[in-house]
Structure 1
Amino acid sequence: MKTQIVKLFTMSLILLIIISGCGKKEEYTPVAINEDTDKCEVCNMAIKDDQFATQIILENGKAIVFDDLGCMYKWMKENEEKKIAKSYVKDYQSKEWLEADMAFFVYDKPTKTPMAYNVIAFSTEEDAQKFITENDGKLLTSDELDNHSWERNEEMMKEMKEMMKSGMDHSKDSH
């Protein structure tokens, strides 16, 4: 009788371990940016592994990368049915990945970002406030980004296009 109780207890313990292992939450970590091959899902521009890169990890594990925070939010608005497990942004200063919902953001129209949405991320509110003190801008939380207008700075886009065109014209002269 005693051995049956021990066997039953052992089997119950094993079953409990198996069941608790099945319920383990999957960890979603950011993928490394490959500057040679990664393209933004929205604008199809090459992605630099810099302070502007962002990404979403879907519940199925697929990573979707973006060159600008505005592109990520545009994608999320257009793909509301997709199940997002985590979203990541890079700290403007350290260029380290941060969970987007833990970051602090600054909208500063003169700050250049790849697609001129002009929103940058910081790991601490103190760092964001310091940037605002030195440069201007408006502090935003991740919740406030949902209601942000996400308008592109058209003047900046025009300047960037002219710079690119000018660079292409100069490269033609050198041939």
Structure 2
Amino acid sequence: MRIFLYCLFFVNFVFATPISLVGKKYEDLKLKQESCPIKKVSISKHKLWLGYVQFNNGVVVALSSPKYTFAYSLQNKKEDIYKVYITDYKTGKIIDSQTAFYVFGSKIMSVGGDDIIPFSKKVDAQDFLEKQSGKKIYSIDRMTANFINYLELR
């Protein structure tokens, strides 16, 4: 019986993966965290801008903007991170950062100033770019340390 329990525990530990946050909203997560670990501002006051880093152990850390989400994820070991999520600016739903479209250079600012505005659909990003004087639409490949630092300096 003891061997069975050890095997069960081992299988559960090895194959357990965190639950996806895609499609949820901030309120669904019921996070106890109150402030952004980088900007030190209230998380609940910036719901349209939130990003999330989900670690392999299931812990979710919310950040006050996409820019700070990528900055935070770059500060942590890649192998410790399960997924990085951001909030779709149009729907307010959480989306996978890997598949999002990011509008750069618009006149809309996050709590941290110049930022990238994420969308799950390219058509929504294009519409936003045109209406808000955006400069370009980027994919996840552009979210490098140099680019994030550039946003912080603008």
Which residue does 1:26 correspond to in 2? Answer: 17
2:123 corresponds, among 126, 131, 134, to: 126
User: Unmatched 5+ residue regions in structure 1?
Assistant: 1-17, 155-175
Pair 1:105 & 2:112 matched: no
Tell me, what secondary structure is at the counterpart of 1:117?
coil
Tell me, what secondary structure is at the counterpart of 2:19?
coil
Which residue does 1:83 correspond to in 2? Answer: 80
Pair 1:47 & 2:43 matched: yes
Tell me, what secondary structure is at the counterpart of 2:127?
helix
User: Unmatched 5+ residue regions in structure 2?
Assistant: 1-7, 22-27
**Percent identity over the alignment?**
18
Structure number with greater Rg is: 1
Which residue does 2:65 correspond to in 1? Answer: 68
Residues 18-63 of structure 1, C-alpha deviations (whole Å, 9 max, x = no match)? 8xx75645243336265x8521111221113522011010011111
**Contact conserved, 1:88 with 1:100, CA < 8 A, in 2?**
yes
Pair 1:148 & 2:147 matched: yes
**Contact conserved, 1:105 with 1:120, CA < 8 A, in 2?**
yes
Tell me, what secondary structure is at the counterpart of 2:83?
strand
Q: CA RMSD in A?
A: 2.5
TM-score (norm. length: structure 2): 0.74
Structure scoring higher RCO (CA < 8 A, sep ≥ 6) equals: 2
Tell me, what secondary structure is at the counterpart of 2:49?
coil
Q: Take 1:64 and 1:82, find their aligned partners in 2: how far apart are those partners? A: 16
**Contact conserved, 1:54 with 1:68, CA < 8 A, in 2?**
yes
**Matched AA of 2:139:** T
CA, structure 1 residues 60+37, in 2 after alignment: closer, same or farther (shift >3 Å)? closer
Q: Take 1:103 and 1:89, find their aligned partners in 2: how far apart are those partners? A: 8
**1:113 positional shift:** 0.6
Tell me, what secondary structure is at the counterpart of 2:123?
helix
State the number of aligned residues. 134
Q: Take 2:78 and 2:129, find their aligned partners in 1: how far apart are those partners? A: 35
**1:153 positional shift:** 6.2
CA, structure 1 residues 149+90, in 2 after alignment: closer, same or farther (shift >3 Å)? closer
TM-score (norm. length: structure 1): 0.66
Tell me, what secondary structure is at the counterpart of 2:125?
helix
CA, structure 1 residues 76+110, in 2 after alignment: closer, same or farther (shift >3 Å)? same
Tell me, what secondary structure is at the counterpart of 1:88?
strand
